[in-house]
Amino acid sequence: MRITALLTAFLLLVLFTASGVSAVSITDDLGVTVVIDKTPERIVSLSPANTEILFALGLDEKIVGVTEYCTYPDVALSKEKIGGFSTVNIEKVSVLNPDLIVAADGNSEETVAHLRELGFTVITINADTIDTTLSDILLVGKATGTYTEAENLVSSMRTELAEIAEKTSAEEKPTILHCMWTDPLWVSGSGTFQDEMISAAGGLNAAANEEGWVALTMEKFLTINPDIIVVDSGDGMGVGTDDALKNFFLEDPRMQSLTAVENKQVYVVNADIIDRGGPRIVDGVEALAKIAHPDIFGEYGGNTNAAKSPGFGVLGVLAGFGAVLLLRRK
């Protein structure tokens, strides 16, 4: 089947080239080869991270539809809404008649398959690491005729990440725990995107002995005893006040013996920049670097932020507590 798809893509490229039409062949993050026969003029995004990438590439006027969770940049709020992240309204998408749909791995397979059956061109991206995020920006650039802009953006992001790494290379690395939910206590272990961001910021993941996103018992949680605790804005799933998670740690009697709590090293980070695989990952790393190394990067001043949006890594957690999915309403 893979060979057949590649052959089909090759034949289509030959056909388009012969007819004088510029075409590109894209292999998305799910391994699907898609031929885009002309520069897209009407684009629909099916995830907040995708929307941020599209806007960062200067495609404002070509974006005709986004999800109800797409809140950045502000102009995204004025775009037509096509439903939620996992509840895409196929009819609304069809009415918009896009010539390119940028889906995400978190969208259901049925939704993506249905859109393709209707004849729409769909590429799916799954930014689950920093490198994959950078590669996906280039992929979207290639698909939308903005590859030069994508190259410039990626180059700038790499430079900023390299500068942070250089400044922290010889510094002592504090242990940092990222917690996104408190009932139960869900943390980011090794192999997660947040684990990678903590490392990029010059820290050590205090939950590195755990694999993936995992719920810990209170007893297990208290044995970790990190230097710093970082929580997502909101209550971890997009409802409640911005400081709900932070206040849990500061006020719960069981947490008062933790080093981070005793030293008042509990910080709120905008969930959009720590849970989305988009251009603002550098902002997330910079925030963590300020928290971990204020003597180098200056005091962190973002301890109150917007509530959470659906992102990449946390989608894996949601599969483990489906009812919570209904609470993620940003």
Instruction: For residues 17 and 8, give the distance between their C-alpha atoms in angstroms, rounded to a whole number.
Output: 14
pLDDT of residue 117: 96
Helix spans in 118-233 (H): 130-144, 147-168, 193-200, 218-224
Tokens, residue 145: 């005729």
Structural domain contains residue 110: yes
Q: Note whether 152 and 176 are same-domain residues.
A: no
CATH of the domain at 47: 3.40.50.1980
Structural domain contains residue 179: yes
Q: Note whether 137 and 203 are same-domain residues.
A: no
Q: Note whether 40 and 92 are same-domain residues.
A: yes
Contact 125, 133 (CB under 8 A): no
pLDDT of residue 182: 85
Structural domain contains residue 161: no
Q: Are strands 33-36 and 24-27 parallel, antiparallel or unpaired?
A: antiparallel
pLDDT of residue 257: 93
pLDDT of residue 313: 41
- 64-92 pLDDT, tens digit each: 999 999 999 999 999 999 999 889 999 99
Q: Note whether 101 and 182 are same-domain residues.
A: no
Structural domain contains residue 210: yes
- 171-218 pLDDT, tens digit each: 999 999 999 888 889 999 999 999 999 999 999 999 999 999 999 999
pLDDT of residue 241: 52
Spell out, as residue ranges, where the chain has pLDDT lower than 70.
1-22, 234-242, 303-330
Instruction: For residues 187 and 178, give the distance between their C-alpha atoms in angstroms, rounded to a whole number.
Output: 6
Candidates 6, 9, 100; CA nearest to 50 is 100
Q: Note whether 42 and 82 are same-domain residues.
A: yes
Instruction: For residues 137 and 121, give the distance between their C-alpha atoms in angstroms, rounded to a whole number.
Output: 18
Q: Scan for tokens 């490198």, then name that residue.
A: 131
Select from 156, 191, 225 the last residue of a domain: 156
DSSP state of 267: E
Contact 266, 229 (CB under 8 A): yes
Q: Note whether 110 and 6 are same-domain residues.
A: yes
pLDDT of residue 183: 82
Instruction: For residues 88 and 112, give the distance between their C-alpha atoms in angstroms, rounded to a whole number.
Output: 10
pLDDT of residue 17: 42
Q: Note whether 117 and 239 are same-domain residues.
A: no
* CA 197 and chain centroid, separation: 12
Candidates 277, 278, 288; CA nearest to 231 is 288
pTM for the model: 0.84
pLDDT of residue 321: 41
Q: Note whether 74 and 191 are same-domain residues.
A: no
Neighbours of 211 (CB within 10 A): 12
Domain of 40? 2-156
Select from 156, 183, 216 the last residue of a domain: 156
Q: Note whether 106 and 197 are same-domain residues.
A: no
Select from 96, 129, 156 the last residue of a domain: 156
Structural domain contains residue 279: yes
Contact 224, 177 (CB under 8 A): yes
Contact 141, 149 (CB under 8 A): yes
Total count of domains within the chain: 2
Q: Note whether 53 and 176 are same-domain residues.
A: no
What is the phi/psi pair of residue 88, to 5°? -65, 130
Structural domain contains residue 123: yes
Q: Note whether 119 and 203 are same-domain residues.
A: no
Contact 165, 196 (CB under 8 A): no
Structural domain contains residue 163: no
Q: Note whether 60 and 122 are same-domain residues.
A: yes
Instruction: For residues 225 and 240, give the distance between their C-alpha atoms in angstroms, rounded to a whole number.
Output: 26
pLDDT of residue 66: 98
pLDDT of residue 234: 59
Structural domain contains residue 166: no
Q: What counts of helices (H) and strands (E) characterise the chain?
A: 15, 13
